[in-house]
Chain A
C-alpha cells in the first residue's frame, strides 16, 4: 500500500514539475551564477580602470586579466542555468534577474556565449600589447555583455 501511495504521489508531482520548483531548489545555481558574474566584472574592472585612465596601464596586469576573462568565458555554464531557474517562477522574482526567455531559445543563449568566446580570443591578443588595443578590445567585449543582457536579463528593482 505504501508503495502504491508513493507511486501515486511521485506520479502526481512529476505532472507539475514547476510547482515543486522553489527558491531553495535553485539557490546554489543562482549563487554560482552571481559569483561567476562577479569574477567576470572583477577582471573586466581591472581592464576598464586602465582604459579610463590610460596612465595606469600595466601590460602584465592587463594580459592576465584578459586571460582570466577568456578562461571564465570558456567554462561550460549549462549546469548553472537549469530550466525553471528564472525570475518568472514563484519565489524567484527577487532572487534572480534571469528571464524565462533564456529557456525559450536556449540555443540562442549558447550562441551568445560563443560570440563572447570569439571576441575574447581576439581580446587576449591585444589587451596586453598597449592601451589603445585595450580600449578597442573593451568595446568588443562590452558589446557581447550587452548582447546577452539586452534580451535575457531583467532590470534591477
Chain B
C-alpha cells in the first residue's frame, strides 16, 4: 500500500515537472516572420538607440560623451531580487552581440529570449520593447553594429531563490508579456501615436515610473503614477520615482511645452534641474528631434490622471 502511494506521488511530481517545463518553454519568433529584404535605416536606428536609453545601462558606469557608445556592460543593478549585472551588447562577436542575426536580436527584444533559447530577466525591459516593429529593431541592430567593440566580459547575475531559476520566468512572461508588437503605421500615424510609441515602447518610461507588485510586475491601473526606486544602494535611503501622469500628485501643472523643454534641457518648470538617474535619461532624450520630444509630451498629457500611491 505504502509503495503505491509513493508511486502515485512520484508520478504526479513527474507530470508536474513536465507541465512546468512545457508551460515555461521560451517562445521564439521564427525567421520567416522577419522582413528579409528590408534595408536598415541607420538614422532611425540611432534615434531608437537614444529613445531606448541603451547606453544608460549598458555603457560603463559613469561614462560621458562618446564613451557612452561603448556598450561594454558591467554595471551592477542592486534590486530586491538580487544583483543583476548588465551584459556587454557591443558588436564584439565573442562577448557582445556582434554574432547575432536580426532574428536573434528581435527575439531578445520582443520575447526576452537569448539566441541559446534562455529566458532573460525583465530587468531588461522587453515588456516595453516588445511593442517595437521589426523594421525598427533591424534599424536599431544595424546602429548597434556600427558602434565600437569591447571585449570586456561582465560577471554573471547574483540572485536568490526562487529568482535564480530562469525557467520560472516563463510563468512570469505568461502574466506580463502579451506579445503585442506594433506595426510601423501604428507608430507613425500622428503626433499622439509617435508619442505613445516612444513612451510605451523604446522609452520604457513605465519601467521606472510605474509601481510594481512583489514579483516585479507592473500594477496596470497605477501605471506611471510613480514608484519606489527598484535600484538600491546598500546603506542608503531608497529613493522615489516621480508620478508622471497629469494628476496634481504628478505633472498636472506642467504644460506640453514644459515637458518638452524639461526633456531637452533637464530643467523643470520651477527651474530646478533633474537629478539622479533621470539625468542620463534626459540627456538621451535631448538627442531626439524637437518633434519627438513634443510627441512624448503630448502623450504624457493624454494619460489618465492617477494619484501617487502612499
Report 18 cross-chain contacts, Cβ distance below 8 Å, ordered by A residue: A41-B271, A41-B272, A48-B267, A142-B265, A142-B267, A145-B266, A146-B279, A146-B282, A146-B283, A149-B279, A150-B274, A150-B275, A154-B275, A154-B276, A155-B239, A155-B275, A156-B242, A157-B240
Q: Known interface pairs A44-B271, A145-B267, A156-B242. Does A150 touch B237 (Cβ–Cβ under 8 Å)?
A: no
A88 with B276: CB separation less than 8 A: no
Q: How large is the interface on A (under 10, 10 to 19, 20 to 34, 35 or more residues)?
A: 20 to 34
A154 with B261: CB separation less than 8 A: no
Other A-B pairs beyond A51-B261, A142-B273, A149-B279, 16, CB < 8 Å: A44-B271, A45-B271, A48-B261, A48-B271, A52-B258, A88-B236, A88-B237, A138-B267, A139-B265, A143-B266, A146-B274, A150-B274, A150-B280, A153-B275, A155-B229, A155-B242
B37 close to chain A: CB less than 8 A: no
Inter-chain CA distance A45–B258, complex, in Å, is 12
Q: Chain A residues near B266 (CB, 8 Å)?
A: 142-143, 145-146
A118 close to chain B: CB less than 8 A: no
A149 with B237: CB separation less than 8 A: no
Q: Chain B residues near A99 (CB, 8 Å)?
A: 236
Inter-chain CA distance A24–B294, complex, in Å, is 45
CB-contact partner of A149 in B229, B236, B258, B274, under 8 A? B274
Residues on A facing B (Cβ under 8 Å) = 37, 41-42, 44-45, 48, 51-52, 87-88, 93, 99-100, 138-139, 142-143, 145-146, 149-150, 153-157
Main secondary structure of the interface of A (DSSP, over half): helix
B270 close to chain A: CB less than 8 A: yes
- Closest residue of chain B to A150, judged by CB? B279
Q: Chain B residues near A156 (CB, 8 Å)?
A: 240, 242
Inter-chain CA distance A145–B265, complex, in Å, is 10
B265 with A149: CB separation less than 8 A: no
- Closest residue of chain A to B255, judged by CB? A52
Q: Chain A residues near B241 (CB, 8 Å)?
A: 155
Q: How large is the interface on B (under 10, 10 to 19, 20 to 34, 35 or more residues)?
A: 20 to 34
Q: Chain A residues near B235 (CB, 8 Å)?
A: 88
Q: Chain B residues near A154 (CB, 8 Å)?
A: 237, 239, 275-276
Q: Chain A residues near B240 (CB, 8 Å)?
A: 155-157
Inter-chain CA distance A88–B239, complex, in Å, is 12
Q: Chain B residues near A52 (CB, 8 Å)?
A: 257-258, 261
Q: Chain A residues near B242 (CB, 8 Å)?
A: 155-156
Q: Chain A residues near B257 (CB, 8 Å)?
A: 52
Q: Known interface pairs A139-B265, A156-B242. Does A146 touch B273 (Cβ–Cβ under 8 Å)?
A: yes
B275 with A138: CB separation less than 8 A: no
Within 8 A of A (CB), among B231-267: 235-237, 239-242, 257-258, 261, 265-267
Q: Known interface pairs A155-B239, A156-B240. Does A150 touch B267 (Cβ–Cβ under 8 Å)?
A: no
A153 with B276: CB separation less than 8 A: yes
Q: Chain A residues near B273 (CB, 8 Å)?
A: 142, 145-146, 149
Which of A37, A44, A48, A146 has the most B CB atoms < 10 Å from its CB? A146
Inter-chain CA distance A157–B243, complex, in Å, is 11
- Closest residue of chain A to B286, judged by CB? A139
Inter-chain CA distance A143–B280, complex, in Å, is 11
Q: Chain B residues near A146 (CB, 8 Å)?
A: 266, 273-275, 279, 282-283
Report B253 CB to chain A, min CB distance, Å.
14
Report A143 CB to chain B, min CB distance, Å.
7
Report A144 CB to chain B, min CB distance, Å.
9
- Closest residue of chain A to B280, judged by CB? A150
Q: Chain A residues near B276 (CB, 8 Å)?
A: 149-150, 153-155
Inter-chain CA distance A93–B236, complex, in Å, is 10
Report A104 CB to chain B, min CB distance, Å.
12
- Closest residue of chain A to B260, judged by CB? A52
Q: Chain B residues near A37 (CB, 8 Å)?
A: 272
Report B290 CB to chain A, min CB distance, Å.
12
Q: Chain A residues near B267 (CB, 8 Å)?
A: 44, 48, 138, 142, 145
